[in-house]
Structure 1
Amino acid sequence: MDWNVIAQYLPLYKKAAWLTLRLGLAGIVIAIVVGLVCALVQYYKVPVLRRIVGAYIELSRNTPLLVQLFFIYYGLPKIAIKTSAEICGIAGLAFLGGSYMAEAFRSGLESIEPIQTESAMSLGMDHAQTMRYIILPQAMSISVPAFVANVIFLLKETSVFSAISLMDLMFTAKDLIGLYYKTTECLFLLVVFYLLILLPVSLLGSWLERRLRYAGFGA
């Protein structure tokens, strides 16, 4: 292990980690919004839209992110829809993540007993108030373990961004290995930086899950 080489490569990995984190978080935020909308469509059994959402979830969950990225980056320009590599990465991650988030949120929503909705309606709440104050807080707390697992999964999936020439952590590691053959040092830095990104998310998720359980939700 050559520590001088590690010190030399460190700035490159910092830059790559920032790009990985920035694109990953952008894709995850959009995936959360998409997933919540899809979960609500399924929960309320909206005609037609429910079938469209079901088809989207099956398509997204049963195709690799790499294939989705290739379709967006290389396929869409054939029909005059051109995107940058960064937008492609965010869109691909959001497309994949939206389906996983939708299933996590749907399971949380469907775990709430119907009597709670009936009780809220009998107290004079409308559907929007019932969802906002009664259903969603409980459903979100129940969905926390699956939600955190999905966030970690999506952050790890950013490793395929290198396939569309994004200078993420994986691209940087492969590029340096190919140029200088410092395999051990490059892989060591790759592992360290992924741990720096993913470990805090995992610990935060565990803490949040415990807090919600102690508060009486998700038991």
Structure 2
Amino acid sequence: MNWTIIQQALPVFARGFELTLWLSLVGIVGSIIVGIIVSLVQYFKVPVLSQILTVYVELARNTPLLIQLFFLYYAFPVIGLKMSAEVCSIIGLIFLGGAYMAEGFTGGFNGVSPSQINSGKALGMNNLQLARYVFFPQGFSLSMPALTANIIFLIKETSIFSVIAIPELTNTALDLIGMYYHSNEYLLMLVIAYAIILIPIILLLTWLERRVRYASFGD
């Protein structure tokens, strides 16, 4: 293990680290937004739109992100929709993540007691009020384990972005190995970089899950 090589590669890995964090953040936030919208539409069974989004969820969850990225990056330019690799990666991550988030939120919403929904309707609440005051706060709490797992899953999925030449962490490591053949050093740096990202996030989400589950915010 040559520590000089590791020190020399730190600036390059730092750039890959920043790009991985940025792509993960945008992709996760977009996935949560899409997931909430899709799950609400499915929960209220909006005609036509609900069926369309069900097809989207099944398509996204049953096709690999690798194929989705290839389709966005190589097939879309054929019909005149050319996007940068970064934009393709974000769209791909949101497309995949939105479906998984939707399933997680739907499970949480369905876990809310029907008696509470019926009580809200008896008080004259419309669908928006029911969502805001009744099943969304409780459903969000119930969906936290799935939300946590999906966030970790999406961060790890950013490693696939290397196939469309995005200089994130995995692509950075592979490029350096290809140029200098120091596999042990660069793979060690790759593992440590992902650990630096994932371990604090796992701890934070685990803490947040406990707080939300027991409604202990503000204590």
**How would you bin the TM-score normalised by the shorter chain?**
over 0.9
Decide which moves more: 144-153 or 41-50: 41-50
Structure 2 partner of 1:199:
199
Structure 2 partner of 1:68:
68
Q: How far 1:23 moved relative to its partner?
A: 0.9
1:33-112 matches, cutoff 5 A: 33-112=33-112
Instruction: Please give the root-mean-square deviation of Cα atoms over the aligned residues, in Å.
Output: 1.3
Aligned partners of 2:127 and 2:66: how far apart in 1?
40
Is it true that 1:20 corresponds to 2:20 in the alignment? yes
Is it true that 1:135 corresponds to 2:138 in the alignment? no
TM-score (norm 1): 0.96
1:124-163 matches, cutoff 5 A: 124-163=124-163
Q: How far 1:125 moved relative to its partner?
A: 2.9
Runs of 4+ aligned structure 1 residues displaced above 4 Å come to none
SS in 2 for 1:81: coil
Aligned partners of 1:120 and 1:156: how far apart in 2?
40
In the alignment, residue 23 of structure 1 is paired with which amino acid? L
Change (3 A) 1:125 1:47: closer
Aligned partners of 2:38 and 2:212: how far apart in 1?
24
Aligned partners of 1:126 and 1:67: how far apart in 2?
41
Contact kept? 1:35, 1:98, Cα under 8 Å: yes
Structure 2 partner of 1:30:
30
TM-score (norm 2): 0.96
Q: How far 1:216 moved relative to its partner?
A: 7.4
Aligned partners of 1:97 and 1:186: how far apart in 2?
29
Q: How far 1:89 moved relative to its partner?
A: 0.5
Change (3 A) 1:46 1:126: closer
SS in 1 for 2:166: coil
Contact kept? 1:30, 1:98, Cα under 8 Å: yes
Q: How far 1:123 moved relative to its partner?
A: 2.8
Is it true that 1:116 corresponds to 2:123 in the alignment? no
Aligned partners of 1:46 and 1:214: how far apart in 2?
32
Structure 2 partner of 1:215:
215
Render the CA deviation track for 1:41-80: whole Å, top value 9, x for unaligned: 1101111111111111111111110100000000000000
Q: How far 1:164 moved relative to its partner?
A: 0.5
Aligned partners of 1:28 and 1:83: how far apart in 2?
20
In the alignment, residue 137 of structure 1 is paired with which amino acid? P
